[in-house]
Structure 1
Amino acid sequence: MTRFLRNSLTLARKEWISLLRDVFMLGFVVYSFTFSVYSQATGISHELHNAAIAIVDEDRSTLSQRLASSFHGPEFQTPAMIGHAEVDPAMDSARYTFVLDIPPNFQADVLAGRSPAIQLLIDATAMMQAGIGAGTIQGIVDDEVGRFVRREAEGTAAPVSLQVRVAYNEALDTKWFTGTMSVVSNVTMLAVLLAGAALIREREHGTLEHLLVMPVRPAEIMAAKVLANGAVILVLTLVALYAVLRGLLSVPLAGSVPLFLAGTALYLFFATALGIFLGTVARSMPQLGLLFILIVLPMNMLSGGFTPLESEPDWLQTAMQLSPSTHFVAFAQAILFRGAGFDVVWPRFAATAGIGALFFAWSLARFRRHLASFR
């Protein structure tokens, strides 16, 4: 065991020196955990913000004026009051994302209980704002009409009062979620790429044959690559959490960062082994890139990081339980968002470690056969 650790650490040092000399790869890895995280968190917003809206007011009543004054920032721009003839040209030229058409006699029909219809035209080329905005506008209209009717009929209370309490992200700030999950996603992608590229780089440079004549075993070579590349990802994850998320984005990390890093280390045991496995299959970096697209990207997308796992078909949810990436995302969200402790996440830790150990053994067997082909 002492010899195993000594040889593995020595080979890991060689891996770190090799990475430091590869300026492009080093820059790419650092970029992925700094500027890339910041740009993903701030570049795409899932909230309705500054949406252009116009109103066709055919009623000219107190209620229609109240509706028009209900749309304001930061969700909406100041509504433009337009006529019917301007609607089609304005929508065709993308001047407005939403056009609300209030029909004649709207207030009178509401007070008479006749349930009049308001037409909402949406430019769905702005897909994200279109989907969110439709629900927001529906809520604003329902709220204003409800308050107007209750004021006209004094003493009549609403039959149901819905009290909403938002947990874990009270401000509904997109960058809290997007920034954190981009770090989690990059852990998987960079761990696989670094480990796979390290093996292919050695084969292309001819240094893999040099290792075969040294008194080291395949397990020591693979352990060194797992240790070296996993340590790099772990350090950069820590930088991303404190410098980017907490420092630049002011994202509160609810749980224990050391606990999250411990779970990440368990997961990197699997992710780097996957990278080495793909490195034994691919014969060049372009082939590694193609395998990455076929295997790692779907695994990342289906792990529940950006869309809920529950939205997938039942059979796919069951299949994804065999992927450590699913358990990694689950305990990362539990720790960083909800402040969960080890007593909550230990089943996910155990699943990640167990599946990772099995895959490491499989990758090691493949790696041994790969080295044997050079002899």
Structure 2
Amino acid sequence: MLAAIRKEFRQFMRDWLLVALVVFTYTADLVICTSALSFDVRNLKLALYDGDRSQLSTTLVERFVASDYFTKLIQVSRMADVNHLLEASQADLALIIPPGFSQDADAGRATEVQVLLGGTNSNTANAARGYATTIVGSFARDVLVQHAQRHGIMVDLPSVHAEVRIWYNPQLEFAHFMAVSMIVSAGLMVGVITAAAGLVREKESGTIEQLVVTPLRSHEVILAKAAPPFVIGMLALAPSLFIARAFGVPLAGNLALFVAASAIALVAFLSIGFFIGTLADNLQQALLLAFFVLFPLLFLSGTISPIESSPIFIQSLSLLSPVRYYMEIALGILLKGVGLEVLWPQLSALAGTGLVLGAWSVLRLRKQMFT
């Protein structure tokens, strides 16, 4: 067994491209994706058609521009230009202020402004609609109060103020979530791809038959092949935590518990990779099958979009994914600072799925090569 493990380490370390892939995924890939990817909707482009050109309409436009969400204002003189900007994706939102806007407001009559949104990206459109609704609603309230005061009426409108307290991520930095998500995704990709590639490489080189005739049993073959990517993956976890800390992730919980959970998760991911390796005959097939598995696992785990926003059937299906439990554990430990007393259900489910996947891979390998 020790001889087989030494052989696998030598073979793994000779493949410098595979080693570079592991290190890159846990370090450079983490930095690039955390810096570049964000679901925060900011820097929206606002197209403006002001048919009133009054002080009141200018004040409304300033409310939009003064926010952090609309950073580019494009003024047009024709409605046709608004349509062109939206069609060419040069504007995310268009504000149409009709003639007579200020006169109607001064006279106490109801007036309207029109907001046009490009719905090709529904996430951006929904966020922009929410920003516009809030800004116009606040502006309408101020216009009502000012109109009443000009007529000698002191208005004290009833209102409800929400005192918001944000736990775990007070600044609502999306990079915190993204850094944790990329650590989880890196473990999945490294485990699946390296395990599948290691087993398929034996088939391509014709040395799989030599493994079969050795005294090694099927589970010992998998353990020997799992040793190098497991050790390298666990070692690469350390710089990824330093990078996450550099992005402001508090690392609030017990890091030893997170390392233990990462080890269990990596075993589950390696098991998936070995199962793929038993199905594929060459590296190209293994990579295609790996991507066929990777993306559904990521989409069902909460690393990209909330599981709660999925249909009930998909939410139930996600209970079979070990990535879901690993993601919940990572968020709980690194951001919330909770411990085993809270995360034991997720840790138990992660260990259970890892055990099932490992046994499945061993049985598949035994059936294919040792019978």
1:280 aligns to 2:273 (yes or no): no
- Preserved CA contact (<8 Å) 2:94 2:117: yes
Residue 203 of structure 2 is matched in structure 1 by: 203
Residue 169 of structure 1 is matched in structure 2 by: 169
Residue 49 of structure 2 is matched in structure 1 by: 56
Deviation at 1:60, TM superposition (A): 3.4
Assess, with a 3 A threshold, how the Cα gap between structure 1 residues 22 and 341 changes in structure 2: closer, same or farther. Answer: same
Assess, with a 3 A threshold, how the Cα gap between structure 1 residues 126 and 215 changes in structure 2: closer, same or farther. Answer: closer
Assess, with a 3 A threshold, how the Cα gap between structure 1 residues 179 and 66 changes in structure 2: closer, same or farther. Answer: same
Match of 1:355 among 353, 357, 362: 353
Residue 96 of structure 1 is matched in structure 2 by: 91
For 1:129-208, list aligned pairs within 5 A. 129-153=124-148, 154-208=154-208
Deviation at 1:345, TM superposition (A): 0.4
- Preserved CA contact (<8 Å) 1:111 1:149: no
Deviation at 1:275, TM superposition (A): 1.0
Deviation at 1:192, TM superposition (A): 0.9
Tell me, in whole angstroms, the C-alpha distance in 2 between the residues paired with 1:347 and 1:182: 23
Tell me, in whole angstroms, the C-alpha distance in 2 between the residues paired with 1:189 and 1:34: 13
Tell me, in whole angstroms, the C-alpha distance in 2 between the residues paired with 1:371 and 1:311: 43
- Preserved CA contact (<8 Å) 1:37 1:179: yes
Deviation at 1:138, TM superposition (A): 1.9
Residue 12 of structure 1 is matched in structure 2 by: 5
Match of 2:71 among 70, 77, 93: 77
Scaled by the length of structure 2, the TM-score of the pair is 0.88
Residue 226 of structure 2 is matched in structure 1 by: 226
Query: 2:70 aligns to what SS in structure 1?
Result: coil
Tell me, in whole angstroms, the C-alpha distance in 2 between the residues paired with 1:160 and 1:41: 37
Assess, with a 3 A threshold, how the Cα gap between structure 1 residues 54 and 39 changes in structure 2: closer, same or farther. Answer: same
- Range that drifts further, 302-311 or 160-169: 160-169
Residue 250 of structure 2 is matched in structure 1 by: 252
Between the two proteins, the alignment pairs up a number of residues equal to 364
Residue 15 of structure 2 is matched in structure 1 by: 22
Say what the alpha-carbon RMSD is for the aligned residues.
Answer: 2.4
Tell me, in whole angstroms, the C-alpha distance in 1 between the residues paired with 2:85 and 2:310: 39
Residue 58 of structure 2 is matched in structure 1 by: 65
Assess, with a 3 A threshold, how the Cα gap between structure 1 residues 337 and 109 changes in structure 2: closer, same or farther. Answer: farther
Unpaired runs of 5+ in structure 2?
Answer: 149-153
Assess, with a 3 A threshold, how the Cα gap between structure 1 residues 126 and 239 changes in structure 2: closer, same or farther. Answer: same
Measured against aligned partners, the alpha-carbon deviations of 1:42-61 in whole angstroms (never above 9, x if no partner) come to 22332233322232222334
Tell me, in whole angstroms, the C-alpha distance in 1 between the residues paired with 2:85 and 2:358: 60
Identity %: 31
Match of 1:120 among 91, 106, 115: 115
Deviation at 1:276, TM superposition (A): 0.9
Assess, with a 3 A threshold, how the Cα gap between structure 1 residues 66 and 12 changes in structure 2: closer, same or farther. Answer: farther
- Range that drifts further, 134-143 or 84-93: 84-93
- Preserved CA contact (<8 Å) 1:183 1:240: yes
